[in-house]
Structure 1
Amino acid sequence: MKIAIAGAGAMGSRFALMLAQAGNNVLMIDGWQAHIDAIKANGLQANYNGEEVVVKIPIVSQTEVPSDEKFELIILFTKAMQLESMLQSIKGIIDQNTKVLCLLNGIGHEDIIEKFVPMENIFIGNTMWTAGLEGPGKAKLFGEGYLELQNLGENSEDNAKEIADVLSEAKLDARYSENIRYSIYKKACVNGTMNGLCTLLDANMASVGATSTIKVMCQLIVKEFASVADKEGVKLNQDEVLELIYGSFNPETIGLHYPSMHQDLIKNKRLTEIDYINGVISRKGIKYGIPTPYCDFLTQLIHAKEEIMEAK
């Protein structure tokens, strides 16, 4: 399949590498010039579960996307705050047959995507894979994962299942979901706890998980997510969500991972996606008249940290 990865950071690099290794025609699109230059010069270098691999994958800047090519599938991995500008940049490679799969962290991205893509071609999902960047063009990929996806448009279920098959053939373990919004809220709870706390505490998930206060903090944050989700017809099983979060503390699986927000802010001094994770729960809490003090405070603390670190 001819696939474009729009947002070729850590997770985009994982998907590009695995899809290319499975024989797909992959193009990476990104906005970080040093990353682009490194991959053009040396290929995508990765520590892949302890094995050093190099895969030659074409990559272009989002300002230089070829308008004469069309793609069967575009997978969105850009940062949430950069989504609309990315879609504006790549609209020339989208036609009436292009399927667009959004795997961004956070909630509600389809509201932006449908400005560029008809609803029947929009697919949303969430992934439990992890990835990191050790520098421009160098990815660290470890552990196992899976992803779930679903069509937004009516009568697009077969297309969703075809996309899942292509991803699974690349060993990404993709599953069709009958209730993707539940899965997205569940993943958002993981991001809403681990991303902010690991960033503020400057620690990986195992270290944060070993603290005496972590379970109480997670319970209170998840309760806020669940209260907002309930207003939108999503009934979260809080015990199931907390079990998923606690499972991420295991150093023998993904516990040694630093979440993407930590990588962005602490490592690279980049602005974070907090407004699209805890921040969106705060905004929806105001809308529905639900107190969300923990999400409010986490959002404010991360923004304060961004200012202190002069993130851009």
Structure 2
Amino acid sequence: MKIVVIGAGAMGLRYGVLLQEAGNTVHFVDTWEPNVEEIQKNGGVTVWRDGKDERFVEISISYPEEYHDEPELAIVFVKDMHTVETMERCKHFIGENTYVLTNQNGFGGAEYIAQFVPRDRIIAGTAMIGTVMKGPGKVDFIGKRGAGHVHIVKVKGTPDAFIYRVADEMEKALMHPTVQEDYMGTVWTKLVFNSVVNTLCTLMNIKMGQFAAYKNSKEMSRKLVDEAYDAIDAEGFKMEVTRDELVDQVMFVSEVGNPLHYPSMHQDMSTNRPTEVDYINGAIVRLAEKHGLKAPYHSMLVDLVHLKEESRKYND
């Protein structure tokens, strides 16, 4: 399959490298100049696995304006707030038959992509995979090879032959995909997961395993999940898992799956980039308000993350 990965950050590199090593033709486009220049200079990226087993992987990369092939699949991994401007720079190579896949963290990425691509050619989903960008052209894959899993779902319509082709290639790459049928339920399940782990680990400057080790972590998770599910139930979304199952998933992934991982929001905070909290906890607050409900826990977390963002200007 001919694939272009839009956004050669942590997750973009992980998806692209794994799919390339599974036999696909993969090209990366990125807008972060230090990253593009470093990768072009070296002809590839340095990859670690849990901080060990350093290796070099040859990849091809360019700025969006320099890429003119027509891929079968474009995989978008940019921050939600940058989706529209990035897609504007990439729209010239999105052909009439190109599908676009996004596993972005918050709610909004697929909706922004729909300004450029018909909804029946957009594949959304979730990724339970941890990855850390260590610098331009340097990425650390968290977890053993084959750890983690991916859910993919068409934004409009039922699963078609192409989404199963994507799933086959992901399986060859040991990404363990599952094809789902409910777009909103799939995306919101991961969003609520992120609203707990991403946000609390960011505020406390801790890894997922350190969060899980706190004696009241499960109770904190339960309060945030319940508040989110109240809004989701009012909207009528059919979630992939029950409240109890999602709380258990938060604890299992934090304790067993990725205990040494700093979530992506933490990585943004620590590198002085804007976070996606408005697209995660903020999305829950907006959904609750739509139905006349309150979401005080999530509302407070949004303010606390933004306060921490503002406080960075006082750091030496």
Spell out the pairing of 1:89-108 with structure 2 (5 A cutoff).
Answer: 89-108=89-108
Mapped partners of 2:185, 2:158: distance in 1: 20
Alignment match, 1:48: 49
TM-score, normalised on structure 1? Answer: 0.94
Corresponding position: 1:201 with 2:198 = no
Corresponding position: 1:135 with 2:138 = no
Deviation at 1:31, TM superposition (A): 2.0
Deviations 1:154-182 (A, max 9, x none): 36522211111122122211121123432
Mapped partners of 2:189, 2:82: distance in 1: 23
Deviations 1:187-229 (A, max 9, x none): 1122101111111101101111111232222111111211121
Mapped partners of 1:156, 1:51: distance in 2: 38
Corresponding position: 1:257 with 2:238 = no
State the AA in 1 paired with 2:55: V
Detail structure 1 runs of 4+ shifted over 3 Å in the superposition.
none
- Residue aligned with 1:249, SS: helix
Mapped partners of 2:265, 2:168: distance in 1: 30
Mapped partners of 1:170, 1:52: distance in 2: 19
- Residue aligned with 2:27, SS: strand
Deviation at 1:151, TM superposition (A): 1.5
Deviations 1:7-32 (A, max 9, x none): 11111110111111112111112222
Deviation at 1:230, TM superposition (A): 1.2
Alignment match, 1:239: 244
Select which of 301, 308, 311 maps to 1:308.
Answer: 311
- Residue aligned with 1:290, SS: coil
- Residue aligned with 1:141, SS: strand
Mapped partners of 2:231, 2:61: distance in 1: 39
Spell out the pairing of 1:171-182 with structure 2 (5 A cutoff).
Answer: 171-182=174-185
Contact 1:65 1:89 in 2 (8 A): no
Spell out the pairing of 1:1-312 with structure 2 (5 A cutoff).
Answer: 1-42=1-42, 43-48=44-49, 50-62=52-64, 64-66=65-67, 68-143=68-143, 144-154=147-157, 157-236=160-239, 237-250=242-255, 253-266=257-270, 268-310=271-313
Mapped partners of 2:31, 2:235: distance in 1: 34
Unaligned runs of 5+ in 2: none
Deviations 1:24-68 (A, max 9, x none): 111112222111122112211100353222111111234x342x3
TM-score, normalised on structure 2? Answer: 0.92
State the AA in 1 paired with 2:46: Q
Mapped partners of 1:154, 1:205: distance in 2: 36
1:83–1:164 Cα change, 3 Å: same
- Residue aligned with 2:130, SS: coil
Unaligned runs of 5+ in 1: none
Mapped partners of 2:31, 2:88: distance in 1: 13
Instruction: State the Cα RMSD in Å.
Output: 1.6
Deviations 1:271-292 (A, max 9, x none): 0000000011111111111110
**Percent identity between the aligned chains?**
34
